[in-house]
């Protein structure tokens, strides 16, 4: 299983999508300081109050961007994984080795998970270190927020990865992208619901979030970093329950992929 | 003799309802340990489908099979099996030795053993100088060599080869034959899918012919190609009496130029008699070449020349 995971890491690291994704990420990192320069906030060393708030807002904003870029990178890196391996005959040679089908899929998933988590952690920690060193403030709320971004990116990766057992790359991209858009938009029903004091609408909106539970964490990042949960409207708070749901969502998708793969005729 | 492969009513149907076709239709077959078995059949006969079921790549619709005494799907047994699929174009960025090392590790070898085996199989398959080349840049024949290399890297007890020679040059075919006979000498059972009949003739002990998913004949190669019946002869000084005696002996004789003729006999024993008639009559034998019915002829006869038996 480790062999498969390492193989996945190495193959993905050399793929053109990975190189493109890293390029965009670096551009993003390079352009971020423009915000702190123009956003009215002064990230000054050792200053409290205004400067600290601005730095926290900057971190929250930057992390939101990393969340989105990471999710789309996860989508593009994994959208062809299993299906392509089956089509080009690589899987036939792997499957005939003394390794169960479940382990092959889990190993491959673990490789992608390690890669995406590593990517988010490295960029996220670089951001954090830059701000912490600049302000002298620890911004401890950022750490759980970064962990949530890792979770989000893994969720997106697992969805695309599991679908790649069934669908070719292009169909996978269409499906996951549309689910993402639909979920994000439909879940806004709860904003309207809360504004109108309609419990039913709030609940329906939140139910839509369950289809692809990445939006809630996204909403939550900012308040976690600024460390003032009170600023976030109550209906947006994910809470531990929602995080637990996201973890179960990942496990269930992976299980689905494994089960489908176990019964699948390959090429 | 212990069986390496036992197949019982193996069937694979693709499609559903009225469109369903059985690509492999109630196949039953037994291959003993240490045998080299040639699996022949025209395009679309179901050879690849059969091997894919045995290798665990696709699942049978019905029927069962045992490999090395264990039912299909037994993961541990796969450590003793090698599988070379029909040649594909590999698109991996990996270098040849890393790619083979990956397959060695999948077989559970440790780093040291894997390195040693990679070196060995690269030499065996004629890729020794290409360890550092990227697999994706390989030529078709080199692709086929490296796919063969991953199948023998574990020194398998049972080896499946699906059209292993289709892209190989003459040197590659010789290497392949040497690999096959080398493995047989250490007791490996080999199941060889091929329509390159001359390849099969050179190495296989027993042959099965598949057509439209059904096994239509299984026999020793010698029994399929039959006994020697035709002989090409060149002799000097054949008198008209001798020629008449030859005509009486053979079922059919065709005389050519320079004392050449081809005789068709009823049995192998008549070969000696024919030579005797010529020398007794004062003729001098210059050439005497008995001919077997080629596997190709036998094959075409079995499947019907139009492939529609
Ligand atoms: N995945 C599939 N879906 C539908 N039909 C299939 C599939 N795989 C194989 N077949 C059909 O099964 C039949 C047997 O195919 P198979 O590849 O086993 O033939 P083969 O004997 O290996 O032929 P060749 O000598 O050309 O390699 C063919 O008619 C083929 O079209
Ligand atoms: Mg075939």
User: So what's the pLDDT on residue A203?
Assistant: 79
Mean pLDDT, chain A, as a whole number? 84
- B178 contact partners, CB below 8 Å, separation of at least 6: none
| Residue B178's pLDDT band (cuts 50, 70, 90) | very high
Q: What is the predicted ipTM? A: 0.85
Asked if residues A159 and A138 have their Cβ atoms less than 8 Å apart, the reply is no
The CATH code of domain B3-224 reads 3.40.50.300
A15 contacts: CB under 8 Å, gap ≥ 6: A77, B93
SS3 (DSSP) at B126: coil
- Nearest 5°: the CA angle B227, B228, B232 is 170
- The helix (run of H) or strand (run of E) holding residue B218 is strand B214-220
Q: Give A94's contacts (C-beta < 8 A, 6+ positions apart).
A: A4, A85, A104, B106
Residues of A in contact with B109 (CB under 8 A): none
Q: Start-end ranges of CATH 3.40.50.300 in chain B?
A: 3-224
Query: pLDDT tens digits for B246-258?
Result: 999 988 899 988 8
Q: pLDDT digits over B113-122, tens only? A: 999 999 999 9
**Structure tokens given for A113:** 């998970």
Identify the residue whose C-alpha is closest to ligand 1 atom 29. B44
Average pLDDT of the segment spanning B36-47: 94
Tokens representing A37 are 């320069």
Distance (Å) from the C-alpha of residue B151 to the closest C-alpha of chain A?
A: 8
pLDDT (tens digit per residue) in A125-139: 998 998 888 888 888
Average pLDDT, chain B: 91
Q: Which of B84, B90, B106 to mutate to test the interface with A (most CBs of A within 10 A)?
A: B106
pLDDT in tens, A161-210: 999 999 999 999 999 999 999 888 887 777 777 777 777 877 787 788 88
B209 touches chain A (CB under 8 A): no
B128–chain A Cβ distance below 8 A for any pair: no
| CA B210 / ligand 2 centre spacing (Å) | 12
**B289 in helix, strand or coil?**
strand
Start-end of CATH 3.30.70.100 domains in chain B = 227-292
Residue B103 CB–ligand 1 contact under 6 Å: no
Residue A53: is its pLDDT beyond 90?
no
Query: What's the CATH architecture for B227-292?
Result: 2-Layer Sandwich (3.30)
A3, A93, A99 member nearest B75 (Cβ): A99
Mean pLDDT of the region B8-14: 97
pLDDT for residue A40: 42
**A45: confidence class by pLDDT, cuts 50, 70, 90:** very low
User: Environment class of residue B133 by beta-carbon count within 10 Å: exposed (0-12), middle (13-18) or buried (19+)?
Assistant: middle
């Amino acid at each position: 299983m480790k062999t498969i995971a390492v193989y996945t890491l190495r193959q993905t690291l050399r793929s053109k999508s990975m190189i493109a994704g890293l390029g965009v990420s670096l551009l993003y990192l390079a352009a971020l300081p423009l915000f702190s320069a123009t956003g009215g906030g002064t990230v000054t060393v050792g200053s409290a109050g205004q400067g600290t708030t601005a730095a926290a807002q900057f971190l929250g904003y930057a992390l939101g961007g990393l969340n989105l870029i990471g999710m789309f990178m996860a989508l593009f890196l994994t959208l062809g994984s299993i299906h392509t391996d089956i089509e080009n005959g690589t899987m036939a040679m792997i499957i005939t080795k003394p390794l169960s089908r479940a382990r092959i899929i889990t190993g491959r998933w673990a490789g992608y998970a390690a890669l995406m988590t590593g990517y988010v952690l490295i960029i996220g920690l670089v951001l954090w270190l830059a701000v912490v060193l600049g302000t002298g403030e620890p911004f401890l709320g950022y750490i759980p927020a970064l962990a949530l971004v890792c979770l989000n990116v893994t969720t997106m990766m697992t969805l695309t990865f599991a679908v790649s057992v069934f669908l070719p790359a292009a169909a996978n991209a269409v499906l996951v992208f549309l689910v993402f858009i639909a979920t994000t938009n439909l879940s806004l029903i709860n904003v309207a619901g809360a504004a109108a004091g309609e419990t039913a609408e709030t609940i329906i909106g939140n139910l839509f979030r369950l289809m692809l539970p990445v939006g809630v964490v996204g909403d939550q990042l900012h308040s976690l970093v600024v460390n003032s949960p009170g600023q976030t409207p109550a209906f947006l708070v994910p809470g531990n329950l929602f995080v637990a749901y996201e973890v179960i969502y990942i496990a269930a998708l992976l299980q689905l992929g494994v089960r489908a793969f176990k019964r699948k005729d390959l090429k | 003799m212990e069986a390496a492969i036992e197949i019982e009513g193996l069937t694979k149907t693709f499609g559903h309802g009225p469109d369903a076709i059985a690509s492999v239709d109630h196949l039953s077959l037994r291959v003993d340990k240490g045998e080299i078995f040639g699996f022949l059949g025209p395009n679309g006969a179901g050879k690849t489908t059969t091997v894919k079921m045995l290798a665990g790549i696709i699942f049978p619709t019905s029927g069962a099979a045992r490999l090395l005494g264990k039912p299909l799907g037994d993961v541990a047994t796969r450590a003793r099996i090698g599988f070379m699929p029909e040649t594909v174009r590999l698109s991996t960025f990996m270098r040849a030795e890393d790619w083979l090392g990956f397959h060695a590790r999948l077989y559970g070898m440790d780093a040291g053993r894997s390195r040693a085996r990679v070196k060995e199989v690269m030499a065996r398959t004629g890729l020794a100088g290409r360890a550092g080349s990227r697999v994706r840049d390989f030529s078709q024949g080199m692709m086929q060599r490296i796919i063969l290399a991953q199948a023998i890297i574990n020194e398998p007890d049972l080896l499946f080869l699906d059209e292993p020679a289709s892209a190989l040059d003459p040197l590659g075919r010789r290497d392949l034959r040497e690999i096959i006979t080398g493995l047989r000498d250490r007791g490996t059972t080999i199941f060889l899918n091929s329509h390159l009949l001359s390849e099969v003739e050179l190495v296989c002990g027993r042959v099965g012919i598949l057509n439209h998913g059904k096994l239509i004949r299984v026999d020793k190669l010698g029994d399929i190609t039959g006994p020697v019946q035709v002989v090409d002869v060149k002799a000097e000084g054949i008198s008209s009496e001798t020629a008449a005696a030859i005509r009486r002996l053979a079922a059919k004789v065709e005389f050519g130029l320079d004392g050449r003729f081809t005789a068709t006999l009823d049995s192998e024993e008549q070969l000696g008699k024919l030579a005797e008639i010529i020398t007794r009559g004062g003729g001098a034998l210059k050439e005497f070449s008995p001919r077997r019915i080629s596997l190709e002829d036998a094959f075409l006869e079995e499947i019907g020349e139009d492939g529609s038996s």
